[in-house]
Every structure is written in C-alpha cells, then in structure tokens.
Homo-oligomer: A and B are copies of this chain.
Amino acid sequence: MKLAILGTGPVGQTLAAKLDGLGHSITIGTRSPAATLARQDPDAFGNPPYQVWATAHPKVQLATLAEAAARSEVIINALSGAGSLEGLALAGEPNLAGKIVLDLSNPLDFSKGMPPSLFVSNTSSLGEQLQQRFPSAKIVKTLNTVNANLMVDPGQLAGGDHTMFVAGNDADARRQVAAFLREWFGWRDVIELGDITTARGTEMLLPLWLRTWGALKTPAFSFRVVR
C-alpha cells in the first residue's frame, strides 16, 4: 500500500521503518526535504539527524508534505501537535480528500513548563480541530496513547495484552484503521470509541500518561481496559 507519513521525527521514523519492513511503499513528508537532508546535528532529544536514518532505510522516499500526501492512499500524521494544523494545510486538503488520515498527534503545550499541558482539551480536541479544518479527510485518532516503540510493536509489552483506541467520524474508516492496527502492528485489543469527539478522551489521557511515566520512571507502559 502507498503510505504517507507526515513528520521526520522519531515517531515518523519508527512508523516508516516498520511499514517499510512490511513491504509498503512509504513516503515521508516534510516541509522542506532539502532542509531535512541538510541537517547535520542531533535533535533536541539527542536523536541523530534524518540523513543518518535515511541511509539505513534506502527504500523510504522523502518528499514535501503535499507530494507525500498526493501519491499515497493512506496518510499518517506523525507531526507534533503544535505543527499538525499547519502541516496538514501544507499537505493540502485536495491531497487528503476521501483518504484516511491516522492522526497520532497530541496537543502538548510546552509553554507552561513540564510536564506539558494541552493546548486544546475538555470541550474540543486536536482531532476535532483537524476534522473541522479538513472536512473531506477521514481523520481517525489513534496510537496517541503509547510511545513510538509500542505503537509498532505492542507485543513487546505483556505479550500485547493492552488496549488501543480509535476515534473518528467515519465508521468504515474506524474499522479500516482497527484492521490496520491488527495487521501492521499486531494490536489485539482495539476499542472503537465513536466519532471524532471521543478523541478528547484519548488526548486527555496524556496528563495521566506523563505522570505515570514519572512515577514508573519508564515510558514502556500502556493502558489496558480491563472488563
């Protein structure tokens, strides 16, 4: 399948590596491919520059956000929360129209200190803002409640005995994304919460996620809905 991954950071790289390994045709989208490739220094978290990763994954293409979206059947938004509205606008709504957009972003606000708060929550969500701004896209919020390693390999934790959530307006798109999660990554327990307003719930899990990380001293955890 032709897949676009928007965002060159650790989340985008982790998704791209996994999906490339499964034989999909991957294009990573970035604002400026030339600038992305020119970077020589590690990022703020110490991750090596994109070029280092790209050399190890020669089949993965790099393109502008618009080119990546235009040539792909399904889009994965792995941009930061703060960059998602602008990033999808650069991708271009015509290139998103009618397509499933897996939205992995969280509206983290780092401006008020650590741990971050959310720049939208409670009566709206970033998922809803994206759906409102790009009505012809099928925005499906998912994977935003675990770190990148667990997104693509839930089985590394408790044999995969934990839960992933799916939120989106289009019921067929939700079902398709749930199927992607199972087929691509091996997620076994997927709960379809409902329309995109249910993304409030999973985005608002982040404060608990961040504080649990603090208490456990590791991000290698996930939530299971026990029932």
Contacts and interface: CB of A to CB of B under 8 A. Distances in A.
Interface of A: 112, 117-118, 121-123, 157-158, 161-162, 165, 191-194, 198, 200-202, 204-205, 207-212, 214-216, 218, 220-227
Nearest to A221: B227
Contacts of A198: 211, 214
Contacts of A200: 207, 211
15 contacts: A117-B123, A121-B122, A162-B224, A193-B208, A193-B215, A194-B211, A201-B209, A202-B208, A204-B205, A204-B207, A205-B205, A205-B208, A221-B226, A222-B227, A223-B226
Contact of A207 (B201, B225, B226): B201
A223 B224 contact: yes
Describe A's contact surface by its main secondary structure: mixed
A112 B121 contact: no
Contact of A224 (B194, B209, B214, B226): B226
Contact of A122 (B122, B222, B224): B122
Contacts of A112: 123
Given A117-B122, A204-B208, A223-B224, 10 more contacts: A121-B121, A121-B122, A191-B215, A193-B212, A194-B214, A200-B211, A201-B208, A201-B209, A201-B210, A222-B225
A227 B223 CA distance: 9
A201 B203 CA distance: 11
A63 to B, nearest CB: 35
A192 B208 CA distance: 12
Nearest to A226: B162
B226 A212 contact: no
Contacts of A211: 193-194, 198, 200-201
